[in-house]
Amino acid sequence: MPAFSKVLVANRGAVASRVLRALGSLGVPSVAVYSDADRGAPWLAQAGEAVYLGGSPPRESYLNEGALLDVARRTGADALHPGYGFLSENAGFAEAVEKAGLRFIGPAPRWIAAMGHKTRARAFAAEQGLPVGRGSGVLAPDRDAILRAAEEIGYPVLVKPAAGGGGIGMLPARDAGQLLAAVERAASMAERGFASREVYLERLVERPRHVEIQLLGDRHGRVAHVLERDCSVQRRHQKIIEEATAPGIDRTILEPLMARIADTFGRLGYDNLGTVEMLLAPDGEFRFLEMNTRLQVEHGVTEQVTGIDLVAAQVRSAAGDRLDELLPRPPAANGHAIQARVYAEDPRRFLPSPGSCASSCPPPAATSVSIPATRPAARSRRTMIRCSPR
């Protein structure tokens, strides 16, 4: 049992439920928080305590740093799990948690800050000898400088926000005629999404594979990889299908790369869960894309094939457990797991249009199933949802 007397889960919905389940399995008391919009939400019943946080707008509740720290103080929590999204990659918040005498269940704030800015993360990866594709620094608001940067990289290029990810504000440009308009539009989207207009350029890789490597580190200078996931099926640079392990990739190339990445981050003191995202180009070369210093939405497919509870391991790592306690043996895959995200859209306008959910028939247990490689088939479990159009 980790040396935490109580953990505050500073999030909502599916990720709050997942973290609360892991805390329950470890026997650690938990505190959930909720906004006006989430009164009576089902995950609240999983926690030992549920405390009202604020109004429905996230700025009044799940993004209200002062309110979260006040709840932690009032309930006697000595650790905080940020989940994903919201404040999970906010280095300033992680520092505030630590200064308040709590343990932030995630990597050290310096890692969140270092990897949170994409151009600095690319520069860091290059300094460590990891493969990085051609790109620019943050673009200056100068037409000629922008055009020169693209010419040096070579078209086509991808304009990307420097202060955030998730596919927001990523726009291609195939020639100089498209570039300036794409930069202006991407900067506007970045300002709305991340409160920063900083954008940069990367060489656009046509038809790449998106492969992410799961890392797990401890507070004693050791890091191991927990295999990889394939997230290549995307729509507007946002993931739809996630698989573990990545099918059809040469393991003699992938496995040394994963070991090299784990060794690099271990040598530098990475100290919790993290994911290094790579692009695999059609020429067979891997290129560093970014690093996410948090629990990933798609962590479940890795758990399905390895049998490792990554969330529990994340909590135990933050509490001081050593890597050989978290991973008594090297992770190995047993079968294959797939996660699919539901994208409900108007096919004529290509805009979100979920309609209303008329009925839902949940499965009797989990909605995912691991199929051992030794079995020719396994019964599937389905979640059936019938929605009416707008």
**Bond from prior residue into 374 cis (ω within 30 degrees of 0):** no
C-alpha 380/C-alpha 367 separation (Å) is: 9
Residues constituting the chain: 390
| Residue 193: how many other CB atoms lie within 10 Å | 15
Catalytic residue (one of 294, 341, 349, 386): 294
Sign of CA dihedral 83, 98, 308, 305: positive
H-state helical runs in the chain: 13-26, 65-75, 91-99, 109-116, 118-127, 143-153, 176-194, 251-267, 299-306, 310-319, 323-326
The single-letter code of the amino acid at 189 is M
Kindly report the number of other CB atoms within 10 A of residue 13's CB atom.
14
Q: How far apart are CA 136 and CA 307, in angstroms?
A: 40
DSSP string, 121-133: HHHHHHHTT--B-
Is 107:293 a contact under the CB 8 Å cutoff? yes
Report the alpha-carbon distance of residue 83 to residue 384 in Å, rounded.
Answer: 27
* Strand 337-340 to 351-352 pairing: unpaired
Place of tokens 């629990």: 295
Residues 118, 199 contacting (CB under 8 angstroms) = no
Query: How many CB atoms are located within 10 Å of the residue 227 CB?
Result: 21
Output helix, strand, coil percentages for the chain, rounded to the nearest 5: 35, 25, 40
Helix (H) or strand (E) segment spanning residue 234: strand 223-235
Dist CA 62 CA 41 (whole Å): 15
Rounded Cα distance between 162 and 184, Å, is 14
382 part of the active site? no
Active site residues: 294
